[in-house]
Amino acid sequence: MATMRYREALGEALREEMRRDERVFLMGEDIGVFGGAFKVTEGLLEEFGERRVRDTPISENTIVGMGVGAAMTGMRPVVELMTINFALLAFDQIVNHAAHIHYMFGGQARVPMVVRMPQGAGHQLGPTHSHCLEAMFLQVPGLLVAVPSTAADAKGLLKSAIRDENPVVFIEHESLYGERGEVPEAPTDHLVEFGRAAVRRQGSDVTVVGISRQARTAETAAEVLEREHGVDAEVIDPRTLRPLDLGTILASVAKTGRLVIVEEGWPHGGVGANLAALVAEQAFDSLDAPIQRVSGADVPMPYSKALEDVAYPHTRQVVEAALRALSEAPKVPAG
């Protein structure tokens, strides 16, 4: 195992897949000469040249559209958008084309393309650069959606995404790029399967599901719950939202009887709302307390550091939500 930063793990995945398959090429703003806004693609231009590492104009709809066309003709493009907010400019290409072409063409065409994009608050970049919008893509049939929270998963999921025959929305969190973690070293072909959640911490009192960076927050909250309150929390990181490993979450809820869902996105129609509905539909009898949701504030992300800090979840809110769930008396069977 090697210890590397999240951004380095992503770069290594790109490098390995470009060496493995000459059809893989990269497109995006400042990914070549500058090495990427977050330095994920640093050094790739020098190794693979301008034909396979392409700097593009600032035109997200065009970048993604070119990727769709290239994928349909047999290439495997990896398109980088500078932030998930800018993906809204390419929504037509992502939703109406990339996601649906395989269906509309009766299976005669595929779009094996990856759209990489960072998201998340904490850097005082204001409302047009800081939101978590995974829920918008989660709703679209035909798309796969990945939200890795560790360096190992960033590498393994990106390699799997590049090899997949479907379009993949690959969402990275800006605050994770500098985080270090253990990653299997080459020549190990480290792949992480889509649709398989990771149980980050075993527990018996309450289940905490964290999305993207909030999976890390959930782990920290579990440590606080054990140290300060004697609570044994189980932490689950879904890793991919489409496909979703609902079975692992349901099994955990059956064990603990309580569920807390933590996400950085907005509360209305978010990932947490969807997951809460699924658990309520399929595991209602397992619940001993109402499902607790912790989300970002229902506001445009503030630029002010003080306001931004209270607009997305931290450890304290997760601990409080878990304690609220535990304060509910368990159901007593009838008779």
3-state helix, strand, coil in the chain (%, to 5): 40, 20, 40
| The residue to which tokens 């993604």 are assigned | 64
Catalytic residue annotation: 60, 129
As given in the structure block, the two tokens for residue 304 are: 């002010």
DSSP-derived 3-state class of residue 219: helix
How many Å apart are CA 66 and CA 174, to the nearest integer?
25
What's the chain's Rg over C-alpha atoms? 20
How many Å apart are CA 146 and CA 154, to the nearest integer?
9
How many Å apart are CA 31 and CA 114, to the nearest integer?
15
Whether 210 and 219 have beta carbons less than 8 Å apart is answered as: yes
Orientation of helix 315-327 relative to helix 214-229, angle to 10°:
60
DSSP-derived 3-state class of residue 55: strand
Whether 60 and 81 have beta carbons less than 8 Å apart is answered as: yes
DSSP-derived 3-state class of residue 289: coil
Which of 32-65 are b and which e, b meaning 16 or more Cβ less than 10 Å from the residue's Cβ?
Answer: beebbbbbbbbebbeebeeebbbebeeebbebbb
As given in the structure block, the two tokens for residue 286 are: 């397992």
Whether 210 and 216 have beta carbons less than 8 Å apart is answered as: yes
DSSP-derived 3-state class of residue 310: coil
* Strand intervals (E) in 41-167: 53-55, 76-80, 114-119, 144-146
